[in-house]
Chain A
Amino acid sequence: MIVDVLSFVMLALGGFFVFLGGLGALRLPDLYTRMHAASLTDSFGTILTLGGIMLQSCWSLATVKLLTILFFLMMTGPTASYALANAALLSVDDPEPHPPPATET
């Protein structure tokens, strides 16, 4: 019972972070801040969602598989983020994030 509640809370929070990551990737002004938002999906979203499913799987082979998936996602996610940021840094002359254009009325 407690495990179920905990798992639902984790799944809901994970979904919330994934949503937040998507929202940030759409709404934030430039590439670096967008990547920062998208990394929410990678980190909190993945850990909470997979953790929630793991609590549901109650120590079976599925738990081990989920742990493996989590391990590989923890390895590849940050690497992909690094590669993306690095490529952006190298391809643009001015690496400084541009401030949003001041709106003058």
Chain B
Amino acid sequence: MVTLFGLVLLTLLVVTAVAIVITPNLFVAVMLMSIFSLIMAATFFILDAADVALTEAAIGAGMSTILFLGALALLAEREQRSRGRQWLPLAVVALTGFTLIYATFDKPRLGDPSAPVHQHVAPWYLEQTPVLMEMSNVVTAVLAGFRAYDTLGEVLVILTAGLGVMLILASGRPEPSRRGPAAVAGGLRHHLIPRVVGQLLIPFIVLFGLYLQFHGEFGPGGGFQAGAIIAVGIVLHALLEGEAAGRAILPTRVLVGLMAGGALLFCAVGIAGMLLGGNFLDYAVLAANPVAGQQLGIHLVEAGVGITVTGTLVAAFHAFADREPAA
């Protein structure tokens, strides 16, 4: 039954991907990308990867659709078709695709328990997580504990990306004219129904984000998902009430503070471990009891991730919404 679901979802995925490539209308393409992400999230879910599914649904289907639409508000709606056939890109893509498909022939069967990925460190993580950290969600333990270096790198990448977006799109003037695309600048103040329903939903969205943040230890969730969902709540407010009102609740300097503060919190936890006599990002020394120390460290690190992701996504939205459309 699950195999059947998987086949249907993967077929839809391919159909959606082809449609994204074919359609000349960028607005349609953005909507299809959102659908693509939603199908992808469902696929992750039937593979039992609930954490990844949540991230894909929140960021792929939610936040990046808003960012794409924000970018689209500045651009023409239709794609510019290049003249003539581009044989070189086609050849490169075809060759890469062929190589990837060829490489899958050597891949172990999906879910094969004797595959290398299930024999290497995964059993050790599964065995040691309840002992070392007393956490029921191994994904959170691996992400923020065992492989905290990777996660720190990801947080710094997100911070860098957010700063890049702000620097490239910033209009250069100290006090930009706050006009932006007319649709975004004015919000939906004249549309009573979406505004009332949206305002009603925002507390639930933010509450759900906080739940994911603090429940990541026990179930699917964690800083990335929580940050994305809280950012969606804040951006929804900006969409409903207008760009200026959205900026009023979180001004740029607060957003930059959030972006850098989250990453700093992450690094500070690592350095605190060093000062207390352990290694960088060694949480066991943070409290008298090693298990309590691990949990404290993971909570703080996840909080840092959530803060940085929230700040970056909201800042990226404002960077697009603040621009005036090209003539």
Contact = CB atoms under 8 A, between A and B. Distances in A.
Interface of A: 72, 75-76, 79, 82-83, 86
B191 A76 contact: no
A58 B204 CA distance: 26
Task: Describe A's contact surface by its main secondary structure.
Answer: helix
Nearest to B204: A72
B201 A76 contact: yes
B194 A83 contact: yes
Contacts, number: 17
Contacts of B201: 72, 75-76
B229 to A, nearest CB: 14
A79 B191 CA distance: 11
A32 B193 CA distance: 19
Contacts of A86: 191
Interface in B186-221: 191, 193-194, 197-198, 200-201, 204
Interface residues of B, number: 8
B200 A82 contact: no
17 contacts: A72-B201, A72-B204, A75-B197, A75-B200, A75-B201, A76-B197, A76-B201, A79-B193, A79-B194, A79-B197, A79-B198, A82-B193, A82-B194, A83-B191, A83-B193, A83-B194, A86-B191
Given A75-B200, A79-B193, 8 more contacts: A72-B201, A75-B197, A76-B197, A76-B201, A82-B193, A83-B191, A83-B194, A86-B191
Task: Describe B's contact surface by its main secondary structure.
Answer: helix
Nearest to B200: A75
A79 B199 CA distance: 12
Nearest to A71: B204
B191 to A, nearest CB: 7
B189 to A, nearest CB: 14
Contacts of B194: 79, 82-83
A72 B194 CA distance: 14
Nearest to A86: B191
Contacts of B204: 72
A82 to B, nearest CB: 5
Contacts of B193: 79, 82-83
A83 B193 CA distance: 8
A72 B198 CA distance: 11
Nearest to A82: B193
A76 B205 CA distance: 13
Contacts of A83: 191, 193-194
Contacts of B198: 79
B218 to A, nearest CB: 14
A97 B217 CA distance: 53
Nearest to A80: B194
A83 B204 CA distance: 21
B71 to A, nearest CB: 19
> Nearest 9 A-B pairs (CB), nearest first?
A79-B197, A82-B193, A83-B194, A79-B194, A75-B197, A79-B193, A86-B191, A75-B201, A82-B194
Contacts of A82: 193-194
Interface in B64-110: none
Contacts of A79: 193-194, 197-198
A82 B193 CA distance: 8
A72 B197 CA distance: 10
Contacts of A72: 201, 204
Nearest to A75: B197
B27 to A, nearest CB: 11
A86 B191 CA distance: 9
A86 B192 CA distance: 12
A82 B191 CA distance: 10
Nearest to B191: A86
B29 to A, nearest CB: 18
A33 B197 CA distance: 24
A86 B193 CA distance: 11
Nearest to B195: A79
